């Protein structure tokens, strides 16, 4: 797999530091006076989703309940394409993050600035309908299985503890956003591990065959 877009140094640095990005959906809340609020779930618990599904490999991910119990959410911001202007922030009360039985709910009031109100109208009108959030994983678990009918190797990753949540962002070009790139990078790493493990198994089988031949 190859990355289809060029990343600037800032985004490359974030990925190198272990930051990951996943997609989410936010919708406009029914009007309450002059409020301009969007809301949605950054992630829902125990709901597997596919990061990569190819001919030989599949990477599935899910988030465990309680993954955000010890997460640093002291300063989370709402941005556009994970950079530039800040439209809402939990430090000033315009962004709230609440963990419930479903997942991590995000509510943002975009009415504080002219550009925020413009973004609200874009989300309301369907011109901007893709979102993602940036975070760093503290702990996860990976389970490897094989589909014996297709021969496909499957890795299921369960995120059990999130270290820090950085931002929620509306994204302009879904196919090329940080979410897709982050998922590809993680999947590339998993597939590399599977290939290395397969190669090691093949080496051991070859060595065993040679030893059996010699012992005859």
The larger pLDDT score, comparing residue 206 to residue 5, is at 206
Q: What is the pLDDT of residues 5-54, one digit of tens each?
A: 445 565 555 555 778 888 888 888 765 666 799 998 989 999 999 888 88
Q: What is the pLDDT of residues 182-203, one digit of tens each?
A: 666 667 777 777 777 777 776 6
Burial class (CB in 10 A: 0-12, 13-18, 19+), 105: middle
What are 95's strand-pairing partners? Answer: 108
What's the rounded mean pLDDT across residues 89-106?
A: 94
What's the rounded mean pLDDT across residues 127-141?
A: 89
pTM of the model: 0.77
* Cβ(142)–Cβ(194) below 8 Å: no
């Amino acid at each position: 797999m190859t990355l289809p877009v060029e990343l600037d140094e800032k985004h490359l640095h974030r990925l190198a530091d272990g930051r990951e990005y996943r997609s989410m959906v936010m919708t406009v809340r029914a009007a309450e006076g002059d409020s301009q609020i969007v809301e949605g779930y950054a992630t829902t618990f125990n709901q597997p989703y596919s990061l990569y599904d190819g001919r030989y490999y599949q990477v599935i991910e899910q988030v465990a309940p309680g993954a955000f119990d010890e997460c640093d959410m002291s300063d989370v911001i709402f941005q556009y394409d994970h950079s530039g202007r800040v439209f809402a922030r939990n430090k000033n009360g315009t962004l709230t993050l609440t963990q419930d039985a479903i997942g991590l709910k995000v509510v943002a009031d975009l009415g504080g600035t002219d550009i925020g109100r413009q973004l609200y109208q874009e989300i309301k009108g369907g011109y901007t309908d893709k979102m993602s959030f940036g975070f760093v994983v503290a702990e996860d678990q990976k389970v490897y299985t094989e589909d014996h009918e297709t021969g496909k190797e499957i890795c299921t990753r369960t995120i059990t503890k999130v270290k820090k949540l950085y931002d929620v962002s509306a994204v302009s070009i879904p196919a090329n956003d940080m979410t897709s790139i982050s998922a590809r990078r993680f999947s590339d790493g998993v597939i590399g591990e599977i290939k290395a493990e397969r190669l090691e198994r093949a080496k051991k089988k070859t060595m065993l065959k040679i030893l059996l031949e010699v012992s005859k």
